[in-house]
Amino acid sequence: TQEQASVITIFGGSGDLARRKLYPALFQLYRHGILHDHFAVIGTARRPWTNEYYRDVIATSLEGEAGAVSDSVHAFASHFYYQSHDVTDADHYVTLRKLSAQLDDKYSAGGNRLFYMAMAPQFFGIIASHIRSEQLLSASGYNRLVIEKPFGHDFDSAKELNDSINSAFDEDQIYRIDHYLGKEMVQSLMAIRFGNPVFKPIWNRDYVDNVQITLAEAVGVEERAGYYETAGALRDMVQNHIMQLIAYVAMPEPESLTPAAVHQAKRSILESLKPLTTAQAADNFVRGQYVGDTPDQRDYVQEDGVAADSKTETFVAGRIELTDSAWTGVPFYVRTGKHMTRKSTQITVNFKPTEHNIFAPVGCPDLSGNSLTIFVEPEEGYRLVVNSKQLGQDYHVGQFPLNFRHTANEIANAPEAYEHLIQDALAGNQTNFTRWHELKATWQYVDKIREAWDASPDMPTYESGSMGPSASDDLLAKYGDSWSWDG
- Cβ proximity to ligand BG6, 14 vs 314, nearer residue: 314
Looking at the Cβ atoms of 24 and 331, the one nearer to ligand BG6 is 24
Of 142, 185, 169, 146, nearest to 12 (Cα)? 146
String of contacts with ligand BG6 for each residue 365-394, x by CB under 6 A: ------------x-----------------
Tell which positions 164-193 bind ligand BG6, by CB under 6 A: 179
The one among 236, 324, 380, 419 contacting ligand BG6 by CB under 6 A: 236
The residue among 11 and 418 lying less far from ligand BG6, judged by its C-beta, is: 418
- Smallest distance from ligand BG6 to CB 230, Å: 12
As measured in angstroms, the least distance from the Cβ of 176 to ligand BG6 is 13
Beta-strand relationship, 143-147 and 113-117: parallel
Nearest CA to 172 out of 419, 436, 420 is that of: 436
Instruction: For residue 457, give the 3-state DSSP assignment.
Output: coil
Report the Cα 271 to chain-centroid distance in Å: 19
Give whichever of 236 and 419 is closer to ligand BG6, judged by the CB atom. Answer: 236
Closest CA to 331 of 205, 198, 159: 205
**Nearer to ligand BG6 (CB atom), residue 177 or residue 265:** 177
Alpha helices per DSSP H over 207-329: 225-233, 243-250, 259-270, 278-284
| CA–CA distance, 475 with 285 (Å, rounded to integer) | 8
Q: Which of residues 67-106 bind ligand BG6 (CB under 6 A)?
A: none
Q: CA 320 to CA 328: how far, in whole Å?
A: 11
- Binding-site members for NADP(+) are 12-19, 46, 86-87, 149
Active-site positions?
241
> Site map for ligand BG6, 139-158, x if CB under 6 A?
----------x---------
Sketch the per residue contact string, 330 through 369, with ligand BG6: x for CB under 6 A, - otherwise.
----------------------------------------
Q: Which of 116, 138, 181, 217 binds ligand BG6 (CB under 6 A)?
A: 217
- Give the phi and the psi of residue 252 in degrees, each rounded to 5: -65, 160
How far apart are alpha carbons 464 and 297 in whole angstroms? Answer: 6
DSSP 122: G
Q: How many residues bind ligand BG6 (CB under 6 A)?
A: 5
Q: Count how many Cα atoms sit within 13 Å of the Cα of residue 319 in the half-sphere of its side chain.
A: 21
CB atoms within 10 A of CB 443: 23
Q: Which chain residues interact with ligand BG6 by CB under 6 A?
A: 149, 179, 217, 236, 377
